[in-house]
Structure 1
Amino acid sequence: LTSHSDIVQRCNHPKRQIIGGLPYGDLVIKLSVATVVKFGAGVSGEEADNQRRAFDLLDGSVVRVPRVIDFFTWTDGGYTKGYLVMEYIDGDILESVSSYQIDQIVKILSHFSTIQCQRPGPLQTGVSRGLLWEENGKPNFETVKQMEHWLNLRLPGVESKLALERYPLVLCHLDLAPRNIIWLKDGSVCLLDWASAGFYPRFFEICLLKIME
């Protein structure tokens, strides 16, 4: 593995090989035939921890998770960016999928539901991140009751409040956009971007899919 300074230089090079990300946001570039780096102000140690935990928890025969190789931060000119170095997995990102591929996603979600935890929040400890949380801060929940209270406070005028304690907390990805799903040539599936993942009621995953439609 090359040094951190070399990786930063590669990321800043005008001829860098960009393979993912957003033009004015976090980017993914290829470092070698086997490694890539995701970098930017939005790339955090918590995301790296989440991805490591997902790699450990999930059955690779059901869904692939890129192995995390390294994470570090680098400050230059007063701006700090995170650098997440990981395994490169070759495949295709599709905007539309077949019924067979939809069945594969359903199988992955079913596998997710077998992995449970008593405490809500990220796969590792820390604050909840993603579309459900960040507009109103990044909460750190100890119990389902705390999460339920936090969400209900943000549903003014709604007569029927959320009651979450009856739902098991299962592994959720919470960002299953097409850009985060790699379809490999051998028929297997790899999921990217584990920044929002955590243990939540399963219907949270469905809600986020609806929001992203």
Structure 2
Amino acid sequence: MRVITLLADCLLWLAPRTFIRLAPESWLISLCHRTKKEKWLGNFQLGDRVIRLPGNVAVKYGAGVLPGEAATQHYAYQHVDPDIVRVPQVYRYFQDRSSPAWPTGYLFMEYIPGQNLKELINLDANDKITKRVTRIISHLGEIKGGTVPGPVGGGVPYGYLWGDDGAKTEFSSLVDVNAWINRRIELLEKTVDLTAYPLVLCHMDLCRRNIILMEDKSICLLDWGRRVALYRFDYQGALCKPEMDLVMIRRAFHIPAPSL
């Protein structure tokens, strides 16, 4: 076992991306659980964990790391304009089903160095960042998301729009999600019809901790676990009307409205 561990560590240093793509799943799982706490990215005492491996590789793993997150992040990486926004490249995803009732997802991706915006205290003084994130929201709204609502490749949607436990169902059509929304608002004695609107790529959790200001001043969006193809109207995601983009940014970043 020690020989395998040393071999895995050596291969990871020499050719990290090739190793990640070709190594047995058991090797990669062991590697993740042997990583020391100083390589953890963030304070994850509970829930999913993110760690950094040699060769600018990051791993997110846990029961909440689902196939839809990997598929949607890969789709975003392929379709965004990197001159507007960066998305970490996905190297590999698999699930450990040794506990069938509680499978653990492992998402291996590009590590993005830079400053997390949650550490940028005086965001009010940096109006350029706010304008650039506004442009990113508009750009995501230009990326078509197919004809089936939800995560790329299928799955139950999770995020603010869907409640604490997600939508609890997998949508197969625009009609399905429209009916779901109307059931949620029936106590208001109102209905909506959104079936005429196209589905676009949505981030659904656009907040400081999920935004990296890179060394070359590029902006990168992290954590695609709640991202779906949906109508371009959601409040906290990337689904607001163009004229409301700045309002969303101010609310998401806790920036007060300018005095009149």
Larger Rg: 2
Unaligned runs of 5+ in 2: 1-18, 238-247, 255-260
Count of residue correspondences: 212
Higher relative contact order, structure no. (Cα contacts within 8 Å, ≥ 6 residues apart): 1
Whether 1:87 aligns to 2:135 is: no
Whether 1:63 aligns to 2:88 is: no
**Structure 1 residues 80 and 142: CA distance shift in structure 2, 3 A:** closer
After the TM superposition, which residues 1-213 of structure 1 pair with which residues of structure 2 at under 5 Å, given as runs?
A: 1-2=19-20, 3=23, 4-13=25-34, 15-16=36-37, 17-20=39-42, 22-76=44-98, 79-95=102-118, 96=121, 97=123, 98-116=126-144, 117-133=146-162, 135=165, 137-204=167-234, 206-208=235-237
Unaligned runs of 5+ in 1: none
For 2:155, the aligned partner's letter is: G
**Structure 1 residues 77 and 147: CA distance shift in structure 2, 3 A:** closer
Q: Assess if the C-alpha contact under 8 Å between 1:68 and 1:86 holds in 2.
A: yes
2: CA distance between counterparts of 1:211 and 1:160?
27
- Shift in Å at residue 10 of structure 1? 2.8
Which one has the bigger helix percentage?
2
Q: Assess if the C-alpha contact under 8 Å between 2:61 and 2:105 holds in 1.
A: yes
For 1:122, the aligned partner's letter is: P
- Shift in Å at residue 89 of structure 1? 1.0
- Shift in Å at residue 93 of structure 1? 0.7
Which one has the bigger strand percentage?
1
Q: Assess if the C-alpha contact under 8 Å between 1:71 and 1:84 holds in 2.
A: yes
Sequence identity percentage: 36
2: CA distance between counterparts of 1:41 and 1:118?
28
Q: Assess if the C-alpha contact under 8 Å between 1:53 and 1:124 holds in 2.
A: no
Cα deviation 1:32-65 (Å, max 9, x = unaligned)? 1310110111111221111111111111111111
* Mean Cα deviation higher: 140-149 or 79-88: 140-149
Q: Assess if the C-alpha contact under 8 Å between 2:156 and 2:167 holds in 1.
A: no
2: CA distance between counterparts of 1:132 and 1:151?
9
- Shift in Å at residue 99 of structure 1? 1.5
For 1:177, the aligned partner's letter is: C
**Structure 1 residues 14 and 198: CA distance shift in structure 2, 3 A:** closer
Q: TM-score, normalised by structure 2?
A: 0.73
Q: Assess if the C-alpha contact under 8 Å between 2:207 and 2:252 holds in 1.
A: no
